[in-house]
Amino acid sequence: MRDRFAGVTDTSRPRLLLIDGHSMAYRAFFALPVDKFSTTSGQHTNAVHGFISMLATLLRVEEPTHVAVAFDAGSTTFRTEALPSYKGTRDATPEPFKGQVPLIKEVLEAMHVRHLDKDNFEADDILATLSSQADALGMEVLVCSGDRDSLQFVNENVTVLYPVKGVSELARMTPDAVRTKYGVEPHQYPELAALVGETSDNLPGVPGVGPKTAAKWINQFGSLEQILDRAGEIKGKAGESLRDHLDVVRLNRQLNHLLTDVELPFGPDDLRVQPWDREAMSTVFDALQFRTLRERLFAMHPSADDDENAAPAVEVTVEDLAPGLLEAWFAEHDQRPLGLEVAGRPVPAGGDAWALAIADGPGSAVALDLTDLSAADDTALSDWLSDPTRAKVVHGGKSVWHELASRGYSLEGVVFDTELAAYLCFPDQRSYDLGDLAERHLHRELTPVDTSSDQGALDLSVGEDSEGGRLAVRAAALTDLAEVLRGELGDRSAEPLLTELELPLSAVLVHMERHGIAMDVDYLRELEQHFGELVTGAAASAYEVIGREVNLGSPKQLQEVLFDQLDMPKTKKIKTGYTTDAAALADLFVKTEHPFLKFLLDHRDSTRLRQTVEGLLKSVADDGRIHTTFQQTIAATGRLSSTEPNLQNIPIRTEAGRRIRRAFVVGDGYETLLTADYSQIEMRIMAHLSGDEGLIEAFRTGEDLHNYVGSRVFQVETSAVTPAMRSKIKAMSYGLAYGLSSFGLSNQLNIDVKEASKLMEDYFTRFGGVRTYLAGVVDEARANGYTATIMGRRRYLPDLTSDNRQRREMAERMALNAPIQGSAADIIKVAMLGVEKEIAVRGLRSRLLLQVHDELILEVGHGELEELTTLVREQMGSAADLLVPLDVSVGTGSSWHDAGH
């Protein structure tokens, strides 16, 4: 494909692809679910993804030699000047769509695809002009547009690709296709449209005249002009209607005529397809978190670099060691850190590893079949892996540890983890795959190793195309990648975060995952049955209210029940009707208190809880324990998350959620569970960062924070603060750290916006340090380009200076939140390291099992409860030196629920 894109011989016929930018972006927006496409920062991206995916398909299938995208410059054009109501009935632009067109343009620029717009003109006029010019030059032209007006310039050289379904299925509108569908020649289509009208453009047609009648007249009289001149000859009601609307038809034809002589900054010859800027594309795709789409595009298109500028292939010498010589190879090569890559499955309880490669950079490497090692080589490998003084570089060290542990090996001496380092440098990336990082930072393509085969089935011969060769190349890339990322860490002052926090924490998490937590399986089964009965009961009650059975999980059927049968107030309009999401239904229930909605919401809640319990049951391993996997590189703020199963989504504030926590129990051989968490950690960090004397005093005196703040804001005694007052203050105090506006506060508390504004103003009057901090942190982040936690974890926010208001405001909210939430994440990580170290130093049997948000769960050895409680309080309380004390709450019990406090 590259040869075609690089240039076209003089004898080849050029092919120009023109795309109506706004038309296709809008269709892409409605073709893909908005809730499934958004970045971790909240930027919606469904229109961008759909548009670029469509463009990629067109480039692959149509193989154009020239390409351009035209956009509307604005809502005001010469047509709206002639008819102010032109397109006036179109719905307001959906909020999630706003801001996506500039993102599409960013991607196009990285792809070196020309895009253009022109004030006072529509994209259609630009397309018509370029199409006409290209036709005159003998080019073949493809116009991708969802606007039927574009059919007027179809001819033997120009084809319109008209969307039939979303943006994935396009109809080829050739002259024959236009004639078949509309019964007129392509150039006559706007005459037909002038008679029939165009609803989407708010152009009324002749009442009673449809496409078939209009086509019959055009074919009978030859042209619209002749139809209008001889309108008196047309009999019947249709002729009478036409004569009553002659001016309407003339204006329609004036407005739907596309211009072919718009003055443009470049012509068709200037639109030749160019090599892509892969680095720029990687940057924008990272921001959009389009990993799969990026891989798809890169696979179909060559690098923007010329061949002579491309990075040379790295040759790795894979040594074919005779049995028993591995120790000698180590003696020759392990004076510096070696790259280690393992092929296996990293399951905390029951994973496996069957091959590995160790590389001394690109110079020398060995690939080993772990199922077929000699005794001497097995001993040499075990000694090297377990020796903390022999340095290793890995990617995803926690997974590597689990893989090796399954074979009885212990991994020590990891001095650099490229996955963790990349995360610290680029926390907003969605993926830290080794291949992606090597391509971006080393300009090197790494072939994945096939781990789907049965263990021992890998071809570990030394050939570069063997799995052993691929493993070795990946291992060799690790040391080079580590050097690049070490520089990136240095630029961000983040190396201590890797060596003193994240790497040691990875070792702690390994043991927590390996331990798991015991489960009461019989109780879980009872819960599953209980929630199943609640689901069935709620459904039956809902059916009784409406007098029939429907699928309560079908949005279409729910819309029919709610808005047709029950005639309820309409919710937010979406493509498929009106939304039936949880928030909309909860709001509708508050307004109507209709019993059907009550049972529907109960049904959804019970279904979710049953699914949670089902997931937990499936996750119980053979040892009767759940071994969740903790993820260090998911949340940009630094917080840990868990998966398989996700233990952070178990509700705690509801009785049903608390019932689920009763299933997590102390294991055999241990005395009890101990839970410990920070009290109001984020507000304590707010007090520290803002230096507000009022907040600091509240924490130092030990008073209830929200009562204290409420007494100052409402100017009453602390004892006179009512539960309603306290609730408002609590919502606002936490909300301020997340950029909560007065409008947001009014919605949250169900109060008037003016009351919310007054509440916030009174708050800031009493706690001015908070106002100063919140204003200053955004300004500082805008000046520096990043925010930082107390411990120096940075989050770069380039959108703080964006011209796009939605993206800029989202970045401002992240700038407010990241230092507080990120500092809380860092503090509990430090506490975990301290707790784990002290347990080891004192030789206790007690052990850390889980970390969920700001809470630690430990299993207590017999007779160790008092010592462990003191130890945990000390380590958590001293994890950070703040202006206010870190208050730690501790509880014990035979289950997670009973140990709550």
Strands (E), 395-459: 414-417
Confidence of residue 458 (pLDDT cuts 50, 70, 90): low
Q: Grade residue 1 by pLDDT with cuts at 50, 70 and 90.
A: very low
The Cα angle at residue 586 between residues 584 and 591, in degrees rounded to 5: 95
**Contact 663/682 with Cβ under 8 angstroms?**
no
**How many whole angstroms separate alpha carbon 209 and alpha carbon 196?**
6
Pair type for strands 203-204 and 197-198 = antiparallel
Query: If you search the block for the tokens 């997340």, which residue do you land on?
Result: 738
C-alpha to C-alpha distance for 819 and 876, rounded to whole angstroms: 19
- Which pair of tokens denotes residue 398? 């926690």
Q: Which helix (H) or strand (E) holds 643?
A: strand 641-643
Backbone angles phi, psi at 752, to 5 degrees: -65, 150
**Residue located via tokens 């092929």:** 343
Q: Which of 505, 398, 403, 397 is nearest to 848 (CA)?
A: 505
CATH of domain 682-820: 1.10.150.20
Tens of pLDDT, residue by residue over 688-703, are: 999 999 889 988 888 7
Fold of 527-626: Taq DNA Polymerase; Chain T, domain 4 (1.20.1060)
Same fold, 527-626 and 682-820: no
CA angle 8, 14, 16 (to 5 degrees): 125
CATH class of the domain whose range is 2-178+259-271: alpha beta
Half-sphere exposure of 461 (CA within 13 A, CB side): 5
Angle at 482 between CA 478 and CA 484, to 5 degrees: 120
- Least confident stretch, 269-278, 342-351, 777-786: 342-351
pLDDT at position 6 is: 34
C-alpha 755/C-alpha 743 separation (Å) is 10
Q: How far is CA 289 from the centre of its chain?
A: 6
Token readout for 820 is 């507080």
Q: What is the mean pLDDT of the chain?
A: 86
Token pair 């990993």 in the structure block, residue: 291
- Contact in structure between 437 and 415 (CB atoms under 8 Å): no
Q: Where are the chain's structural domains? A: 2-178+259-271, 317-495, 527-626, 682-820
In this prediction, residue 386 carries a pLDDT of 96
Task: Assess whether pLDDT exceeds 60 at residue 313.
Answer: no
pLDDT-based confidence at residue 306 (cuts at 50, 70, 90): very low
Answer whether 808's CB lies under 8 Å from 800's CB. yes
Note the pLDDT tens digit of each residue in 594-644.
Answer: 999 999 999 999 999 999 999 999 999 999 999 999 999 988 899 999 999
What lies within 8 Å, CB to CB, of 868 at 6+ separation is 674, 839, 844, 846, 858, 860, 861
Q: What is the pLDDT of residue 2?
A: 31
CB 400 within 8 A of CB 346: yes
pTM: predicted TM-score of the whole model, two decimal places: 0.75
Name the pLDDT band for 301 (thresholds 50, 70, 90): low
- List, in sequence order, the alpha helices (H) in 160-234: 175-182, 189-196, 211-221, 224-229
End-to-end CA distance of the chain, in Å?
Answer: 64
- Token couple for 85: 């109501």
**Measured torsion, CA atoms of residues 108, 114, 118, 123, in degrees rounded to the nearest 10:** -70
Contacts of 251 (CB under 8 A, 6+ apart): 82, 83
For range 248-260, the mean pLDDT: 78
Kindly give the interhelix angle for 805-841 and 768-784, rounded to the nearest 10 degrees: 100
Q: Which two tokens stand for residue 491?
A: 């630029």
Q: Could you tell me which of 54, 38, 57, 55 has the C-alpha nearest to residue 46?
A: 38
Mean pLDDT of 490-519: 96
Reported as a pLDDT band with limits 50, 70 and 90, residue 310 is very low
| Alpha-helical runs (H) found in 750-804 | 753-766, 768-784
Report the interhelical angle of 46-62 vs 21-31 (nearest 10°). 110
Higher pLDDT, 59 or 87: 59
3-state helix, strand, coil in the chain (%, to 5): 55, 15, 35
Pairing of strands 888-893, 672-678: antiparallel
- Residue-wise pLDDT for 330-382, tens only, equals 999 988 899 999 998 887 777 788 899 999 977 789 999 998 899 999 999 99
Where do the H-state alpha helices sit in 63-99? 78-82
Residue, of 42 and 865, whose pLDDT is higher: 865
Q: For residue 74, what pLDDT band results from cuts at 50, 70 and 90?
A: low
Report d(CA 754, CA 219) in Å as an integer.
65
The confidence score (pLDDT) of residue 450 equals 61
pLDDT band, very low/low/confident/very high, at 587 (cuts 50, 70, 90)? confident
pLDDT above 60 (res 7): no
Kindly report which listed range (40-44, 113-117, 214-218, 455-459) carries the lowest average pLDDT score: 455-459
Which residues are within 8 A (CB) of 384 and not within 5 positions of it... i.e. 6 or more apart? 330, 334, 390
pLDDT at 91 over 70: no
The confidence score (pLDDT) of residue 704 equals: 83
CATH 3.30.420.10 assigned to domain 317-495? The reply is: yes
Task: Show contacts of 429-438: CB within 8 Å, 24+ apart.
Answer: 429/286, 429/289, 430/39, 430/40, 430/286, 430/289, 430/291, 431/291, 432/633, 433/291, 434/395, 434/396, 434/474, 434/477, 434/478, 434/481, 436/291, 437/481, 437/485, 438/477, 438/481
Which of 780, 782, 818 lies closest to 800, judged by CA?
782
Which pair of tokens denotes residue 104? Answer: 């599409």
CA dihedral 725, 731, 732, 733 (to 10 degrees): 100
